[in-house]
């Protein structure tokens, strides 16, 4: 959690405070971008763009919203714009299997396929459902924080999450029945 004093110092023009602030949030910004875009290069680009926007717009941040939701709104909007402009690609690196313990090869293979199945199922969700899933389960945002971040009514967020979970459950039924899609 970023300290309010650091935010105020950055807003008042303290360059060191602003750099410290950006360093504190860059990991969270990248994580959100990566989970939405699923491409390292696109996530790096989106993160950089988001950090630049925070840098240039820090003066417009008002304390009525939580700082983390303000930042997440910025990165989420950038990612949504990027996602609309480009078609998703699959990285070959994502499909490499590395086994640490030869005794647990089967378990590692199955967990790798499960992670791929979940990632693919999330990727297939409509954009608004994917975004709320990422913010709720990968960034651990509360419903209210998601509503603030996406500028949506709370009931809409709940509805999106409910529908997204239903869609994920339907898409993952094959795996739950013991099948592997890989």
Pick from 29-38, 40-49, 79-88, 155-164: least confident? 79-88
Q: What is the pLDDT of residues 10-65, one digit of tens each?
A: 999 999 999 999 999 999 999 989 888 888 899 999 999 999 999 999 989 888 77
What is the structure's pLDDT at 175?
Answer: 57
Task: Tell me how far apart the alpha carbons of residues 180 and 174 are, in angstroms, rounded to a whole number.
Answer: 7
What is the structure's pLDDT at 63?
Answer: 81
Pick the CATH number of 1-89 from 3.40.47.10, 1.10.1740.10, 3.30.565.10, 3.10.50.40: 1.10.1740.10
Q: What is the pLDDT of residues 130-139, one digit of tens each?
A: 889 888 887 7
DSSP H stretches of helix in 12-126: 15-37, 40-57, 67-85, 105-124
Provide the pLDDT confidence category of residue 163 given band limits of 50, 70 and 90: very high
Domain boundaries, the chain: 1-89, 90-181
Radius of gyration (Cα) for the chain, nearest Å? 18
Task: Tell me how far apart the alpha carbons of residues 135 and 150 are, in angstroms, rounded to a whole number.
Answer: 10
In this chain, the answer to whether the domains covering 1-89 and 90-181 adopt an identical fold is: no
What is the structure's pLDDT at 99?
Answer: 47
Q: Does domain 90-181 have CATH number 3.40.50.2000?
A: no
């Amino acid at each position: 959690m970023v300290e309010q004093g650091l935010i105020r110092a950055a807003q008042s023009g303290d360059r060191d405070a602003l750099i410290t602030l950006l360093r504190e949030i860059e990991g969270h910004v990248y994580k959100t971008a990566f989970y939405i875009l699923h491409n390292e290069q696109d996530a790096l680009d989106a993160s950089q763009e988001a950090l630049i926007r925070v840098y240039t717009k820090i003066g417009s941040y008002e304390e009525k919203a939580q700082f983390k939701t303000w930042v997440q709104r910025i990165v989420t909007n950038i990612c949504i714009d990027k996602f609309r402009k480009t078609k998703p690609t699959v990285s070959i690196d994502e499909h490499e299997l590395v086994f640490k313990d030869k005794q647990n090869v089967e378990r590692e293979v199955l967990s790798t396929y499960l992670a791929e199945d979940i990632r693919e199922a999330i990727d297939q969700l409509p954009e608004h459902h994917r975004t709320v899933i990422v913010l709720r389960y990968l960034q651990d945002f509360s419903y209210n924080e998601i509503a603030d971040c996406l500028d949506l009514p709370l009931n809409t967020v709940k509805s999106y999450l409910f529908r997204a979970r239903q869609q994920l459950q339907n898409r993952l039924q094959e795996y739950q029945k013991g099948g592997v899609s890989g």
